[in-house]
């Protein structure tokens, strides 16, 4: 039963990413997700490219390499990750047991920190859709990815342009 649910979740995630590629309305939602990703300071730890790295909460996991399903990403955004630097973004998280079946008292000293910004459920879904469509399973960050985030001609992306132009993939 669990494998069937996981398989169905992966199929839904793939279908969702395909829909984003073809549906202008879905791309609009993913664009909103990018804005919320920035506003909620996801870039502080996961960086613009989602590949993770050091941040105020420690070393963030790579969203590009993540195998989490859509529902799991939503839960992590809502509830954070107990015992790590991943904050929660849902107002009232852990007031009941809707986060991993745990209450604030049960989590104790491993309670995640409060996010910089609380997000509404629709905003959490928009960030999730952005992560799935633009970051997850995308390989190494590229010049195209950088321009998609910062805008065409952004000087900060030149480092990726140079790396893409050299045969070894390194810098000159």
* pLDDT per residue as tens digits for the range 38-93: 999 999 999 999 999 876 656 789 999 999 999 999 999 999 999 999 999 999 99
Q: In terms of residues, how long is the chain? A: 172
For residue 160, pLDDT over 80 is answered with: yes
What gap in Å lies between CA 144 and CA 162, rounded to an integer?
12
CA distance 67 to 74: 13
What does the pLDDT read at residue 27?
56
The tokens describing 62, both together, are 């790579």
Mean pLDDT over 114-123 rounds to: 95
Q: What backbone torsions phi and psi does residue 93 show, to the nearest 5 degrees?
A: -55, 140
At CA 143, angle to CA 140 and CA 145, rounded to 5? Answer: 65
Alpha helices in 23-142 (DSSP H): 24-39, 43-46, 70-79, 104-107, 121-130
Domain coordinates of the chain in residue numbers? 2-136, 142-172
pLDDT (average), residues 88-108? 96
What distance in Å separates the CA atoms of residue 137 and residue 116, rounded to the nearest whole number? 27
The helix (run of H) or strand (run of E) holding residue 17 is helix 2-22
163 has a pLDDT exceeding 70 = no
Would you state the pLDDT for residue 108?
Answer: 96
**pLDDT of 1 higher than 50:** no
**pLDDT band at residue 31 using 50, 70 and 90 as cut-offs:** confident
Q: What CATH code is assigned to 2-136? A: 1.10.760
CA-CA distance, 120 to 146, in Å (whole number)?
Answer: 27
Residue 33 scores a pLDDT above 90:
yes
């Amino acid at each position: 039963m669990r494998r069937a649910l996981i398989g169905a979740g992966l199929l839904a995630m793939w279908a969702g990413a395909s829909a984003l590629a073809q549906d202008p309305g879905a791309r609009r939602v993913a664009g909103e997700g990018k804005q919320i990703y920035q506003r909620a300071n996801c870039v502080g730890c996961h960086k613009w490219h989602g590949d993770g790295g050091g941040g105020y909460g420690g070393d963030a996991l790579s969203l590009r390499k993540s195998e989490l399903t859509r529902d799991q990403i939503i839960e992590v955004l809502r509830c954070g990750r107990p015992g790590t630097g991943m904050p929660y973004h849902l107002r009232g998280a852990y007031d009941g047991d809707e986060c991993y079946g745990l209450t604030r008292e049960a989590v104790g000293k491993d309670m995640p920190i409060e996010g910089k910004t609380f997000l509404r459920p629709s905003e959490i879904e928009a960030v999730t859709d952005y992560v799935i469509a633009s970051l997850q399973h995308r390989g190494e960050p590229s010049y195209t990815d950088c321009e998609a985030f910062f805008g065409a001609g952004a000087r900060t992306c030149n480092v990726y342009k140079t790396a893409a132009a050299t045969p070894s993939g390194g810098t000159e």
